[in-house]
Structure 1
Amino acid sequence: MHLESISAGRTFLREVARTGQTIGTVHTLGALHRGHAELIRRAAIENDVAIVTVYPNKIQLRPGGSYEFNLDDDIGLALRAGATAVISSDDAEMFPPGYRTFVSQGDHQLRLDGPEAYLKEAVTGAIRWICYARPTRSYFGLKDIGQAILVKRAVADLLLDCEIRFAPTVRYRNGVPISSRLRRFSRSELDELSCLFTALDHARKEVAEGASCVKDLIMSAGSLVAFRKFKLDFIRIVDADSFEDLEQVKLPFIIVGAAMAHGLRVFDSIYVPDQDTLLNGPPDVWIDLPEQS
């Protein structure tokens, strides 16, 4: 089922609420891929109704930027993955003249990805959808761990009755996390980018073996990055709550890295919330690489 507006979706949501069914939501910008499908699959399994929202959140795009997606393709992928309904919207509905309410979390949104990050706007968009849909559970991928953690904190702080569920990162078998940003990258470029995950996971393994000095860990990880078409932006190890850089590793933490190519900043990260993840690695979902191009 496709509901083409906020008002049409609200009628459906009221009926679901009236019947007492549980709701799982997945909130997207569009350009859905296998990573989104994993979120939708989990929402469908764990709830009576799974709802996917599709809207390229205007406020988290660079000024003048656009977001390419095919709504019909997205609806098809969502329904095949188990969605009960897809709700789409547009700028006129989501950001009418005079809109001015944002979710502020101090400078936390700047700490993980830097001053050019749009995490504040991403969190605002997610919280608006949660307030609208009133889901029992809402699902966020660990690929975007910064947004996931900040949304979970905002839900708790605002006393919203919704459980935030984290779902594993979906990765190609070479380690690259699947992302709409990479849909135009060639197979050879994806293979080259894989060394970023190798470097991050190397740091995790070194911590598991007893290393704790972040400066040394980053130097060791960086030595494994051999880019030709890409440029390494940074590798960091940060506290998983404050996103502040650590000097000595302590749980929970995030190892995060970024690379630049084709004018895009591409991120990868490993979220280490506990000793089991530290020792055994994150519970990633692995899929085959696309055909050579």
Structure 2
Amino acid sequence: MEILHTAAALHAYTENCRRAGQRLGLVPTMGALHAGHLQLVQAAAAACDVVVVSIFVNPTQFNNPDDFRLYPRLPEADAALLGPAGCTVLFLPSVEEMYPQPSVLHFDFGPLERVMEGAHRPGHFNGVATVVSKLFHMCRPHQAYFGQKDWQQVAIVRQLVQDLSFDLELVSFPTVREPDGLAMSSRNRRLSTEARAVAPRLYEALEQAAAGVRSGVAPTQVQQQAAAYIMAEPAFTLEYFEVADAQTLQPVEAWEPGRSVVLCLAAHLGGVRLIDNVVVE
């Protein structure tokens, strides 16, 4: 596995691969890797000749300075995991390399970003779209791999690919969970033992809500019951629980035949912000 630190080195490497007729896969990450990340790397390795994994804690997508400062950074441990998973190239750029000058570009994804994460984290998706665009240009992958735990992010990146005509296929994989249902996340490392013990309550709320959706319980009632279940544990501060159209991400007010919905939440637990979702066909 090669480790590259500059955009020029990455671009030169991937262009050589393209000239050789090799298929390129890109897995963008912020590091502190877990089994969910490794699933994406393994899938990319199965479909592509060359797999590039980027690790970059992107400052422009954090609207909370403490969250950025405390985000886990484990480059050596991550590198040890990536080779066996099928990574060919690890791209480890600095902030100065990714942003040689402050970015002044502003993306507007319309209704897609005015709900949930976009509503509660101003500027977050502008930062995501900026760094993802940079990585797509630097690497020019044939396929890019993302996890569905960040459901809204996948929708934003899909719109980005369509609107800017990136010549690549976006591939997403289901959320990987711990045995007790907690969605795997790099931020889970920051949970105390006590917080970790109650964290699965989020997935329990999602599963109960999904059962309500399948039974035809009204969307507002599904939302209220899920919120009440989460907040019954005093350690949680619920930021949002939304019942939304799985494609448009807009709130669902009444059920329609054949419509897929996504149940999305964000909550704070012991100073750590956690997100999760479940899709109901």
Larger helix proportion, structure 1 or 2? 2
TM-score with structure 1 length normalisation? 0.86
Q: How far off is 1:100 after superposition?
A: 2.0
TM-superposed CA distance for 1:22, in Å, is 0.9
Matched, 1:270 2:275: no
Q: Does 1:216 align with 2:221?
A: yes
Alignment gaps of 5+ in structure 2: none
The answer to whether the Cα contact below 8 Å between 1:145 and 1:271 also exists between their aligned partners in 2 is no
Task: Summarize deviations over 1:166-195 as a string: whole Å, max 9, x none.
Answer: 111010111110111110214442231211
Whether the 8 Å contact between 1:256 and 1:267 is mirrored in structure 2 is: yes
- Asked if 1:13 corresponds to 2:19, the answer is no
In the superposition, relative to structure 1, how do residues 249 and 90 fare at CA in structure 2: closer, same or farther (>3 Å)?
A: farther
Computed over aligned residues only, the root mean square deviation of the Cα atoms, in angstroms, reads: 1.9
Q: Secondary structure at the match of 2:216?
A: coil
Asked if residue 206 in structure 1 is aligned to residue 207 in structure 2, the reply is no
Aligned length, in residue pairs = 272
Give 3-state SS (helix, strand or coil) of 2:199's partner.
Answer: helix
1:217 Cα offset (Å): 1.2
Asked if 1:28 is matched to 2:36, the reply is: no
Residue 54 (structure 1) aligns with: 55
Q: Choose from 260, 263, 271 the match for 1:252.
A: 260
Runs of 4+ in structure 1 deviating by more than 6 angstroms, as ranges, are none
Unpaired runs of at least 5, structure 1: 273-277, 279-293
Query: Once the 2 structures are TM-superposed, how far is the Cα of residue 98 of structure 1 from its aligned partner?
Result: 4.6
Distance 1:25 1:186, change over 3 A: same
Question: What percentage of residue pairs aligned between the two structures are identical?
Answer: 28
Q: Contact 2:190 / 2:272 at 8 angstroms: preserved in 1?
A: no
| 8 Å contact from structure 2 (residues 5, 94) kept in 1 | no
Provide the C-alpha distance between the structure 2 equivalents of 1:83 and 1:102, rounded to a whole number of angstroms.
32
Residue 42 of structure 1 and its aligned partner are, at CA, apart by 0.7
Which residue is 2:82 aligned to? 78
In the alignment, the residues of structure 2 paired with residue 177 and residue 42 of structure 1 have an alpha-carbon distance, to the nearest angstrom, of: 19
Do the aligned partners of 1:142 and 1:271 also contact (CA within 8 Å) in 2? Answer: no
Q: Secondary structure at the match of 1:32?
A: coil
TM superposition shift of 1:111 = 0.8
- Please say which of residues 59-68 and 213-222 is displaced more in the overlay: 59-68
Name the residue aligned to 1:230: 236
CA distance, structure 2, for counterparts of residue 102 and residue 125 of structure 1: 12
